[in-house]
Chain A
Amino acid sequence: MSTLSAALLVLADGRFPAGGHAHSGGAEAAVKAGRITDGASLESFCRGRLHTAGLTAAGLAAAAAAGLDPLGLDAAADARTPSPALRAAARRLGRQLTRAARAAWPSPDLDALAAARPRGAHQPVVLGLVARAAGLGPLAAAYAAAYEAVSGPATAVVRLLSLDPFEATAVLARLAPEMDDVAARAAEAALRAFDEGLDALPAGSAPLLDITAEQHAAWPVRLFAT
C-alpha cells in the first residue's frame, strides 16, 4: 500500500491544471432543477455522487494505480458510463489530465496510454496511472478520485448559487469520513480485481446523473461543460 506522500496533495489540488474547473459534475443541472438550493441539498447531492459515480471512479483509479492494464480498465470504464455525454467528457478530461501529468510526472506508461488513446482515455484510469507515476499507490489514487467526485460539484455550486464558500467547504469536511470509506472500499476492490478480474471493480451508477447529463449537454446556454 502507499505511504503518505505530498504528491497526493499536488495531484488532488483543485488548482491542478487538468480542466476540472469547467465541469460541475451534474451540479449545474441539479441547481437548475431546484434539487440543489443550499448547503444541505448540496451535501445530499455530493453524498449520492460519492457513493455511486465516485466509488466507481475510485475503483478504476485504484486499479490503474495498482498496475492493471489501462486499456482493459478503459473498456471497463466505458461499460460503467452509459451516458454518451459523460463518456465524451471523461475522455476529454482524461486527455487534459494526461497533458498536465506528462509535464508534472513524465512516465513511459502515460506516454503509452496517450499513444494508444490519443483522444483521451477515461479520466479515472488516467488518474490512477498518474498516481502511479507520482509514486502513489492504489489507496491514494482512490482518495484523489473520491475527493474529486465531490469537490468539483461543491466548487461549482459556490459559483452557481453564490453559496457561502465556508458552507461549501464545511460540506466537504462533513463528507470526509465517507470519502475515507469509499477510498478504502475502492482500493480493496482493485486488489481483488487482480485475481477475480475487472468485474470485481465497483459499478455503481446514478441514473439521474446520467439522464440530466444528457439533457444538460443539449442546453444552448450553460456555465459548465457538464
Chain B
Amino acid sequence: MHLDHPDTYPHRHTYSAPTRPDGTRRALRIGLGGPVGSGKTATVAALCRTLRDELSIAVVTNDIYTREDAEFLLREAVLPPERITAVETGACPHTAIRDDISANLEAVEDLEEATGPLDLVLVESGGDNLTATFSKGLVDAQIFVIDVAGGDDIPRKGGPGVTTADLLVVNKTDLAPYVGVDLAGMARDAKAQRGELPVAFTSLAAEDGVAPVRDWVRERLAAWTATAP
C-alpha cells in the first residue's frame, strides 16, 4: 500500500487546486444555487451574453429530471453547444453539488479538455431548498439566487444559502409591486443575516439587468487571477 503524506500534495487528487497539472491557472468556478424558478438559468444566460466576448466561458447544468436548462441555454445560443454540459443528478440535486461532486468535476474537466483553456465555468444547481450549498471542492465561489415572488420573508428565514453564499441575488425586482413585496425590508433582513457579504437586487427583465452580478463576477475573477499563478 502506498501512503501519501497529506501535506505534501494537499490538493493532488481532489481537483480543488487552483492550478492545472501543467502549472497554469485553471478556470474560476462559480456555482449558482437557489430555489427552482428564481432565475438561475436566466442569470447564467445573461452572464454568458454579457461576458462571452471578453472571457472564455463554459456552463454545467444540473437538471433534476430533464435536460431543460441545458436545452434552454442551447436554444438561446448563449454559448456554442460544446461549452454546455448537463449532469444527471439522480433525484437528488443537492447531492451532486455538495456530497458527491464527482460527476460535476468530471463535466468541468471534460469542458476544459474540449474547449479550454477557460477563464470561467458556471455551475448551475438543479434547484433545491434553502439549505443547498455547493461544496468548496467543486466551486470557488457561489451565488444564491432567490426572487421577490418567493416571498419577502426568505432573507429573514436565513438558511445556509442565504446566509453564507458569496453573493445573494434577489431577482425579479420588476415583480415587487405586483406581489406586494417590501424590497427595503428584504435588504435589511439580508444585511442582518449576512453582515458584510454582498447582496444584489436584479431584474433580468430590464435592459442590462444582470449588471450587478456581472460586476461581482469580474471582481472575483480579478482576485482569482491576482492570487493564482
Contact = CB atoms under 8 A, between A and B. Distances in A.
Interface of A: 15, 17-24, 92, 95-97, 99-100, 102-103, 105-108, 133-135, 156, 159-160, 220-225
A104 B96 CA distance: 19
Interface residues of B, number: 25
Contact of B99 (A15, A106, A220, A222): A15
A223 B95 CA distance: 13
B216 interface: no
B13 A223 contact: no
Contacts of A17: 99-102
Nearest to B105: A99
B2 interface: yes
A20 B99 CA distance: 12
B61 interface: no
A113 B111 CA distance: 22
Interface string B36-79: 00000000000000000000000000001110000000000000
B100 A99 contact: no
B90 A106 contact: no
Interface of B, secondary structure class, is: loop
Contacts of B3: 106
11 contacts: A21-B95, A22-B88, A22-B92, A96-B106, A99-B13, A106-B12, A107-B2, A134-B1, A221-B65, A222-B65, A224-B88
Interface string B13-53: 11100000000000000000000000000000000000000
Contacts of A23: 90
Given A96-B103, A225-B88, A107 B1 contact: yes
A159 B13 contact: no
B90 A24 contact: yes
Given A22-B88, A102-B13, A223 B102 contact: no
Contacts of A105: 1
A164 to B, nearest CB: 17
A151 to B, nearest CB: 14
A22 B2 contact: no
Nearest to B96: A22
B90 A223 contact: yes
Interface in B93-140: 95-96, 99-103, 105-106
A112 to B, nearest CB: 12
